[in-house]
Amino acid sequence: MGRGLGARTRMSAESASASPVSGPQGRLVILSGPSCVGKSPLVRALKRFYPEVAAKLRPLVLYNSRSPRPGEQDGVDYHFRTREQVEALRPEPHHVVIDVRGDLQALDLEELSSVLRGGDALFEGNPFVGRLLQTHEALVGVRRLGIFVSPLSREEVSFLRGEASVSLPEVVHDVMRRKLLRRTRRHKGELSLKDLEDIERRAGSAYRELAEAHHFDHVIPNHDGEDSDHWDAFYYPLGDARRTLLTLVALLRGETPAGVERWDSNLATAVE
């Protein structure tokens, strides 16, 4: 388990000893990446333009202590609850409670088991939760497809690492800060101090999350984050948004498209 995951993913001892998922199982598709990298518009585009592919995936809905963003729905995107309500799930043996960028999220293992008995499940969210879904002892034997969406390509990361005057963690932080600022301004207009603090927390976590990418089966480089007009301003996604969508569809169909990458463990290394 990566150092970033161990430092920022905490679960109760009771949850860690939950009963394994059993019975006929579908595949668990894990779609992860830093906040604002483009995961949510990617899933929306999949549903809109490839409904036959999306229909085979049943979303896995976690509990979350944060407030809904504009357009998010309770019970669809997350089960939105207070921090105290999510914390109260920690002693329950079939829940795993996770600290994600200061918010609490909770995974219901019984719900996941039920979803997998009916077919394929889709988790779309934070890489630390994605790693938990790859390593939790209750999910031993479950077939998985791990996909990481990265704001930088493998070549870009290698190039930046080779520049003596460049700090890769600071570049990733700045890239994601700009995306998050544009997304939040689009949703809210004027930003509050709380908005700015949330943006800094998410951007500050992005490099640690990028360091988890090598644990995933496939990495899709995508420069069109959730702040980009390329997802829905021109009817069909354009630019990297289009390439990312087509790459995801190919992976879900069992193909290995040319644009997908596999990262080595030393490409982006965890930092404190």
Summarize pLDDT for 110-151 with one digit per residue, the tens.
889 889 998 999 999 999 999 989 998 888 889 999 999 999
pLDDT confidence tier of residue 168, bands split at 50, 70 and 90: very high
Domain positions in the chain: 25-252
d(CA 217, CA 254): 12
Alpha carbon separation from 45 to 50, 54, 237 (Å, rounded): 8, 10, 8
d(CA 86, CA 25): 27
d(CA 162, CA 10): 34
Q: Helix (H, G, I), strand (E, B), or coil: what is residue 265?
A: coil
Does domain 25-252 match CATH 2.60.40?
no
pLDDT confidence tier of residue 2, bands split at 50, 70 and 90: very low
The pair phi, psi for residue 153, each rounded to 5°, is: -80, 165
d(CA 221, CA 150): 5
pLDDT confidence tier of residue 272, bands split at 50, 70 and 90: very low
Looking only at Cα atoms, what is the longest distance across the chain? Answer: 54
d(CA 112, CA 130): 13
Alpha-helical regions (H) of 189-266: 193-210, 239-252
Q: What is the pLDDT of residue 200?
A: 97
pTM of the model: 0.86
Q: What is the pLDDT of residue 21?
A: 60
d(CA 117, CA 111): 10
